[in-house]
Amino acid sequence: MGVRAYELPKGFKERLRLHGDESPNGFRGTRPVSLNMRAVVIGLRRELRRSSTIAVCLLLWGTACSASGSSSGELLDAGSGSSSGASGATGSSSSTSSSSSGGGSGSSSSSSGASGSSGGTSTSSSSGTTGTSSGGSSGDGGGTIGPNAGCKRGVAMPQSTPPSGAFLGDGGASGVSWWYDWGPTGSGQPAAIEFDPMIWSPPLPDPSKLPHAQYLLTFNEPDNGSQSNVSPSNAASLWPQIESIATTDGIPNIVSPAVASSVSWMQGFFSACTGCKIDYVAVHFYGCLLHTSGQWMGLAEYLAQFYPFNKPIWLTEFSCDAGQSVAAQTNYMQAAVPYLESDSHVFRYSWFSHDEIKNGMLTNGDNGPLNALGQLYVSLPASCTTN
């Protein structure tokens, strides 16, 4: 049925972003004010959990809001009736409404990668031609410093907790090579783990606030009204200033804004930013299936929607939602990380380690040592390249 404008009650958008639906496998979704109505239904179902005094049942596209939960990944558009995988070189692609977090406000979707159960977000299909951009080589490999240079694996952590040396792993072909905290400066520089600064949203910072780095991350979830909330045209109009900041600070590579889910937002940005220096495409994913199952989109199919931009991909946030067990997070990590390591389209990826998703944290507390999930993350085999 497409997208309808729907003004949410005060505080509803934040709860839509942070709370899971009644599915035992959870849900994490984000939408700006202009929402796919199915996402609104799911959000209202969440509200029913929060208040026993409200009784609402909506019928949409002939489907009732029921009390039963669904499966995993990201819910595919009711109008399309099928999952969307990789699109053609310049053909149509799907705009998912997967969710995301960022800048200290994370939450995520559901879980159980290996078992194939979990929750997710609704998607809507959109078509369009990907724009073209120029400038900056995309290069190969991951981190640029330390024993894990040339590796993909990173971690997204809040500003107060830079990763410790334990994130380097055992010195073999594993461990974390880079990190970011949604900010421009980082909270200290752990030895041998590369920090990548981010311009989270406008207004843009003074170049003096950014450290010298190899990569500059930009706007966090511009397609999300509760995050940076920047339109494709506005992002394109600011891009010359971002390029100037990168040049001033000697940062050779610029990463696109990191969308919560919207392929159509990225298409609009590339179309508006012709001739811009965009070296990589950044995305988030909070669904816990590796591959699409029924109406639920998997990580592999979600990422494939961004292949047509012909840029290496940074998956800068992923994990399962706050309602999932440590076992579910573990199953998904064991399925997702090997896939990300083997996917040549993926340049880097970073697990979301934040206390808003406690069972997905890689440490015991904000400043604690690695827990079992963290030890697993740094020990899984990595496919690294030599820079």
Only one residue has tokens 């039963």, namely: 68
- Higher pLDDT: 76 or 359? It is 359
* Domains by residue range for the chain, with CATH: 153-379 (3.20.20.80)
Side by side, the strands of the sheet bearing 280-285 are 194-195, 178-180, 153-156, 346-352, 313-318, 280-285, 253-259, 215-220
Residue 248 CA to residue 184 CA, distance in Å, equals 14
Report how far apart, in Å, the C-alpha atoms of 282 and of each of 87, 254, 265, 317, 352 are. 17, 10, 12, 9, 14
Are the C-beta atoms of 123 and 97 separated by less than 8 Å? yes
> How confident is the model over 159-165, as a mean pLDDT?
80
Peptide bond into 203 cis (omega under 30): yes
User: Do 96 and 130 contact (CB within 8 A), yes or no?
Assistant: no
In a 3-state reduction of DSSP, which class is residue 96? strand
pLDDT at residue number 386: 60
Please determine, for residue 25, whether its predicted confidence score (pLDDT) is greater than 60: no
CA distance 360 to 379: 16
Q: State the chain's maximal CA–CA distance in angstroms.
A: 60
The pLDDT score that the predictor gives to residue 146 is 67
197 SS3 class: coil
Encoded tokens for 300: 């592999």
User: What is the mean pLDDT of the segment spanning 154-175?
Assistant: 82
- Cite the DSSP H helix spans in the chain: 12-18, 37-50, 232-248, 263-272, 299-304, 326-342, 372-379
Q: Which tokens go with 258? A: 């990191």
More reliable by pLDDT, 117 or 253: 253
Stretch 205-212: mean pLDDT, rounded? 90
- According to DSSP, the β-strands at 93-96 and 313-318 are unpaired
Q: Which of 74-88, 157-171, 244-258 has the lowest mean pLDDT?
A: 74-88
Local confidence band at 75 (pLDDT 50, 70, 90 cut-offs):
low
Q: Tens of pLDDT along 252-311?
A: 999 999 999 999 999 999 999 999 999 999 999 998 889 999 988 899 999 999 999 999
Per-residue model confidence (pLDDT) at position 145? 63
Contact 177, 154 (CB under 8 A): yes
Do 257 and 218 contact (CB within 8 A), yes or no?
Answer: yes
